[in-house]
A and B are shown apart, each in its own frame.
Chain A
């Protein structure tokens, strides 16, 4: 099993603590079947251009850090570019730290287990930046090769307002109780998904065809049972143009109400 990135430096007052859903992401992407699929799709013999991996809503950065640090095992190449977005500045800072540490731990030590390309002189994963943003809104169209999203998926009566450019300035001069409310608000953004838990995920799904690289782009989106994953999959296939969606990982087999799946979304392009 590949090591989970260290997140001991992260304060979880306003940042989502790695949980079952995060770990499902790690297990799914590093599973033999999914790694084989990704390594084939991003084989350097098809294109030497390093893939851009983007995680939207990184939280602690545990998923993006894991993928970047273990790129050799997951993508069959280490020369990937990693970028994360989150609406919360604390999460952005945490992600940068987590990803850089994970890459350093896995790729800059002389002997890394299972890492055949280890040693100096070979390419390393590059962490580009943490970006404060609403989903992928500032990303250039068609630039993302792998998009990862562990959304706020819990059904809630209301959807918290998306933070704006001035939200973080408001924190200065807050009383203790106002600060507590603000931290609860930031935390609510990590799980509250509005109607069917799908309001934020729906906005991301709408953006996927525009964001992904038209040739090799692929997205992984986590859903819970209340999100009606079968309907989501059918909807994506109905986009036409070769769009596919398939469940490639699941957890919660103990019949808990929060059964989770990870949907892989990609386009099968006619040769």
Chain B
């Protein structure tokens, strides 16, 4: 997963949805890989409005990246190519291969394996009524 993905992910537990602490999720034991990509300053400028800058600062610090400025680049700093390059490197070139994403509200840990984060919940946290969790798969093949 590209690190950028974390900008769009929050805890999957329903009761966490209203809690501000459920975003951003916190990386733990992350194994990173850098993949070089063409730097496109206009593209980075265009994605800035989509970024939660506070969340990105938290993530960058947790993963040991250089400190980002306190405020989201705007106006004059949009011409700061070094800064745009930092954002490019962080969001697009950084892949998270292994590790965990942890919710700051409920503490639930989502495992990342082979670059795929697993947001399936244990049955007691799922969205379904617990009683329906016991239905086993029978009669599923009759329609063919």
Contact = CB atoms under 8 A, between A and B. Distances in A.
Interface residues of B, number: 49
Contacts of B135: 158-159, 161
A160 B137 contact: yes
Interface string B100-116: 00000000001100111
B11 interface: yes
Contacts of B49: 48-49
A50 B47 contact: yes
A48 B23 CA distance: 25
Interface of A: 48-50, 52, 79, 81, 83, 85, 87, 89, 92-93, 96, 120-121, 123-124, 126-134, 137-141, 143, 154-168, 181, 184-185, 188, 191-192, 203
Given A128-B2, A128-B4, A132-B118, A188 B137 contact: yes
A184 B122 CA distance: 21
Contact of A50 (B9, B50, B122, B123): B50
A203 B126 CA distance: 13
Contacts of A131: 1, 5, 9, 116-117, 119
Interface stretch (B26-34, B38-46, B62-70, B79-87): B38-46
Contact of A123 (B4, B43, B116, B133): B43
Contacts of A128: 1-2, 4-5, 8
Chain A contact residues, majority secondary structure: loop
Interface of B: 1-2, 4-5, 7-12, 14, 17, 23, 38, 40, 42-43, 45-47, 49-50, 92, 110-111, 114-123, 126-128, 132-133, 135-143
Contacts, number: 148
A120 to B, nearest CB: 8
A192 B117 CA distance: 25
A45 B14 CA distance: 36
8 A-B pairs closest in CB distance:
A129-B1, A133-B119, A138-B119, A137-B12, A138-B12, A129-B5, A188-B140, A132-B118
B46 A79 contact: yes
B133 A161 contact: yes
A96 B8 CA distance: 17
B126 to A, nearest CB: 6
A81 B43 CA distance: 11
A129 B43 contact: no
